[in-house]
Amino acid sequence: MARPNQEEIETFMSITGLSETIALQKLEEHGGNLNEAVNAHFSEGDRNLSTRYTVFVILSN
């Protein structure tokens, strides 16, 4: 699949507040479909962020 275009990446970033790296990853996971990628983000959340935060909390106690 071709890389999602910069406009799609920037729109995803604007809507979600996430980095370009994550925007690109989510768009690629959803075949470049911006609507699907954004919907998936808000319905699934950022599991990696949650996991990292949980590990940090456990390790810092």
Q: Distance between alpha carbon 58 and the CA centroid of its chain, in Å?
A: 24
Per-residue pLDDT reduced to its tens digit, 3-61:
899 999 999 999 999 999 999 999 999 999 999 999 999 998 655 554 444 444 444 44
The contacts of residue 1 (CB under 8 Å, 6+ apart) are 28, 31, 32
Q: Residue ranges per domain, the chain?
A: 6-60
The CATH number of 6-60 is: 1.10.8
As a residue count, the chain comes to: 61
Q: What is the pLDDT of residue 57?
A: 44
